């Protein structure tokens, strides 16, 4: 057991590894009514090829997300109803590299915890219940098809990545989900849902000692067999993007423009990963935040609106920066940003702006600790990537201006840049 009293953060965290391999992180907050628990597996949409029974197996796209839906199936009582009986709200999500199930409650904490652990650790599939899910997920995919921001983002990744499955929509396509069978789902479940591949994070108004006892009690009643060695198969991905530009025409009033930079590779060391994320985040805030010169220029030129933003993502296998938003003239915006970045690369970023952005990141991190759901989710995602979210202040404090300029030079290169445009197909004039 590892315990860390993060005094500065007014937060106590304990981490435990159970006999079956499950990692448990507890963050009790005395006097809170709410308990928020999240149970996740390191398994997402990119894990579409793996070794099972000594053989390589390629499964249909969107299956991790499909499985997430199917975990809510129960032979006797609907899972939503089980939680509702104890006053909890429950939900789940699937990302590229993670599937997470969570509840929020203000009473019956032990009951809700047991329901969470039990429904995720037991699967009930029939050919009928697999079939009936297809219509529901098809509507979820259609909803995404009508969302221009989501389309712009997925097209950006599809332009950036030539082979890696991060280029494929998390939910798959209407065609791919109709190929999914009960046996595909069972193979994925048995490969990725062993406790040794999972993390449980609980935040809120509970007693840590009692909570750990409840979890251990629940887990000791189950047998899972030996922890499998998971062999994921990813295609080899070239360092350079596949295509400099993707364009899609949709029925939108506002065209979208996203500009992305591809990392040549991911980072498997957790400390390095956190450091690189914080460093790149501070750099991007200096370059593209609301206090940057370019933000005002673009606003004055009518090329962006106030939703213009940036984000950075880094994992073991891939990483990217995304900048952009709505623009009436997406070609001009992409061009203007390319010239701006090339100009800044020559002279470096401003020391005051760097210091301000670093302080801002510290302040925003501190405030985020008050959001239990955000805290649990972020802590867990970093944990699955081998990093510790609570080291954020240390990581931010250790950054230097020279680091930021080095990062600018190595990351925002012209040859790793791609552009995704959503153009309006509405008749003009």
Partner 1 sequence: MESFQTLSAGRCHVHILPHAGFRTKEVSIRLHVRMDRQHVTPYALLPHMWMNGTDKLPSTRSLTTACDNLYGASVRTSLGKRGGYHILELSASIPDVSFVAEDSLVERALDLLCDVLFDHTEGHGCFDDALVRRELDLHRRRIEAARDEKMSFALQRCFSIACEGTPAALPRLGFVEDLPKLNASQLFGAYEELLQNAEAHAYIVGPFDDLHSVGAALLQRLTEKMIGGSAVPIEREVLPRPESRSVREVTEYDDIHQSQLDLAYITGIGYADPEYPALLMMNGVFGGFAHSKLFIHVRERHSLAYTVWSHVDQVTGMLAVMTGISPEKREQALTIIEQQLNDLRDGKIADEELKYTYRSLRNQHTVLLDQPAALANWHHQGIMCGRQRDINELLTDLERVTRDDITKVAQAIAMSTLYFLTRKDEA
Site for partner 1 in 67-96 (CB under 8 A): 78, 80-81, 84-90
What count of other Cβ atoms lies within 10 Å of the Cβ of residue 351? 10
Min CB(119)–partner 1 separation in Å: 13
Q: Does 3 bind partner 1 (CB under 8 A)?
A: no
Question: Which lies closer to partner 1 via its Cβ, residue 222 or residue 306?
Answer: 306
Q: Torsion over CA of 194, 196, 199 and 202, rounded to 10 degrees?
A: 90
What count of other Cβ atoms lies within 10 Å of the Cβ of residue 391? 18
Q: Does 425 bind partner 1 (CB under 8 A)?
A: yes
C-beta pairs of 376-381 under 8 Å, 24+ apart in sequence? 376/27, 376/36, 376/37, 376/38, 376/102, 376/201, 376/202, 376/203, 377/38, 377/100, 377/102, 379/25, 379/27, 379/201, 379/203, 380/25, 380/38, 380/40, 380/98, 380/100, 380/199, 380/201, 381/95, 381/98
For residue 365 the two structure tokens come to 């991190």
Only one residue has tokens 């069972």, namely 186
Near partner 1 by CB under 8 A: residue from 370, 402, 428, 429: 370
Question: Which lies closer to partner 1 via its Cβ, residue 228 or residue 328?
Answer: 328
Question: Which lies closer to partner 1 via its Cβ, residue 236 or residue 251?
Answer: 251
Min CB(401)–partner 1 separation in Å: 16
Question: Which lies closer to partner 1 via its Cβ, residue 40 or residue 105?
Answer: 105
Near partner 1 by CB under 8 A: residue from 248, 332, 362, 423: 362
Instruction: Characterize 87-120 residue by residue with b for buried, 16 or more Cβ atoms within 10 angstroms of its Cβ, and e for exposed.
Output: ebebebbbbbbbbbbbbbbeebbbbbbbbbbebb
Min CB(233)–partner 1 separation in Å: 31
Q: Within positions 305 to 334, which residues make up the interface with partner 1, using CB under 8 A? A: 305-306, 326, 328
Interface stretch with partner 1, choices 50-58, 217-225, 330-338, 354-362 (CB under 8 A) = 354-362
Question: Which lies closer to partner 1 via its Cβ, residue 31 or residue 346?
Answer: 31
Instruction: Characterize 301-334 residue by residue with b for buried, 16 or more Cβ atoms within 10 angstroms of its Cβ, and e for exposed.
Output: eebbeeebebebbbbbbbbbbbbbbbbeebeebb
DSSP string, 141-163: HHHHHT-HHHHHHHHHHHHH-SS
Q: Does 351 bind partner 1 (CB under 8 A)?
A: no
Question: Which lies closer to partner 1 via its Cβ, residue 230 or residue 393?
Answer: 393
Min CB(336)–partner 1 separation in Å: 17
What count of other Cβ atoms lies within 10 Å of the Cβ of residue 261? 23
Q: Does 374 bind partner 1 (CB under 8 A)?
A: no
Q: Does 148 bind partner 1 (CB under 8 A)?
A: yes
- Listed in sequence order, the residues at least 6 apart from 277 whose beta carbon sits closer than 8 Å to its beta carbon are 312, 314
Q: Does 363 bind partner 1 (CB under 8 A)?
A: yes
Q: Does 42 bind partner 1 (CB under 8 A)?
A: no
Q: Is the dihedral of CA 355, 356, 361, 367 positive or negative?
A: positive
| Catalytic positions, written as ranges | 68
Q: Does 107 bind partner 1 (CB under 8 A)?
A: yes
Min CB(188)–partner 1 separation in Å: 21
Residue 267 · residue 410 · CB < 8 Å: no
Count, residues near partner 1 per rule CB under 8 A: 71
Q: Does 400 bind partner 1 (CB under 8 A)?
A: no
Give the x-and-dash track for 252-291 against partner 1 (CB under 8 A).
Answer: xxx----------------------------------xxx
Interface stretch with partner 1, choices 31-39, 332-340, 343-351, 379-387 (CB under 8 A) = 31-39
Residue 291's H or E segment, with its range, is none
Q: Within positions 169 to 208, which residues make up the interface with partner 1, using CB under 8 A? A: 205
Min CB(288)–partner 1 separation in Å: 13
Question: Which lies closer to partner 1 via its Cβ, residue 295 or residue 331?
Answer: 295
- Rounded distance between C-alpha atoms, residue 258 and residue 68, angstroms: 29
Question: Which lies closer to partner 1 via its Cβ, residue 167 or residue 256?
Answer: 256
Min CB(221)–partner 1 separation in Å: 26
- Rounded distance between C-alpha atoms, residue 368 and residue 387, angstroms: 17
């Amino acid at each position: 057991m590892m315990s860390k009293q993060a005094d500065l953060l007014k937060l106590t965290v304990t981490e435990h590894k159970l006999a079956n391999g499950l990692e448990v992180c507890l963050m009790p907050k005395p006097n809170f009514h709410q308990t928020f628990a999240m149970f996740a597996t390191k398994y997402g949409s990119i894990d579409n090829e793996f070794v099972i029974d000594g053989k390589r197996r390629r499964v249909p796209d969107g299956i991790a997300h499909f499985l997430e839906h199917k975990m809510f199936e129960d032979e006797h009582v609907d899972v939503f109803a089980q939680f509702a009986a104890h006053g909890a709200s429950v939900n789940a999500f699937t990302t590229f590299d993670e599937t997470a199930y969570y509840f929020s409650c203000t009473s019956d904490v032990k009951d809700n915890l047991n329901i969470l652990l039990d429904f995720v650790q037991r699967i009930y599939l029939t050919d009928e219940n697999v079939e009936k899910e297809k219509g529901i997920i098809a509507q979820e995919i259609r909803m995404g098809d009508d969302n221009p921001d989501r389309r712009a983002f997925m097209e950006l990744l599809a332009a950036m990545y030539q082979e890696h499955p991060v280029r494929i929509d998390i939910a798959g396509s209407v065609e791919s989900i109709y190929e999914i069978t009960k046996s595909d789902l069972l193979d994925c479940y048995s490969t990725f849902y062993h406790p040794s591949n999972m993390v449980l994070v609980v935040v809120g108004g509970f007693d840590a000692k009692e909570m750990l006892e409840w979890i251990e009690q629940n887990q000791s009643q189950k047998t899972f067999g030996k922890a499998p060695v998971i062999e994921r198969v990813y295609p080899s991905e070239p360092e350079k993007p596949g295509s400099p530009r993707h364009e899609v025409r949709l029925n939108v009033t506002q065209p979208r423009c996203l500009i992305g930079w591809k990392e040549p590779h991911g980072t498997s060391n957790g400390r390095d990963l956190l450091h690189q994320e914080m460093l790149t985040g501070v750099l991007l805030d200096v370059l593209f935040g609301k206090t940057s010169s370019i933000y005002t220029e673009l606003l004055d030129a009518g090329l962006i609106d106030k939703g213009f933003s940036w984000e950075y993502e880094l994992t073991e296998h891939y990483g990217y920066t995304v900048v952009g938003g709505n623009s009436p003239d997406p070609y001009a915006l992409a061009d203007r940003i390319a010239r701006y970045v090339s100009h800044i690369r020559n002279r470096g970023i401003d020391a005051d702006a760097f210091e301000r952005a670093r302080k801002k990141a510290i302040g925003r991190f501190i405030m985020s600790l008050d959001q239990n759901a955000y805290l649990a989710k972020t802590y867990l995602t970093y944990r699955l990537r081998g990093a510790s979210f609570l080291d954020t202040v240390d990581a931010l404090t250790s950054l230097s201006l020279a680091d930021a300029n080095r990062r600018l030079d190595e990351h925002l290169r012209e040859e790793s840049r791609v552009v995704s445009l959503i153009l309006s197909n509405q008749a003009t004039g």
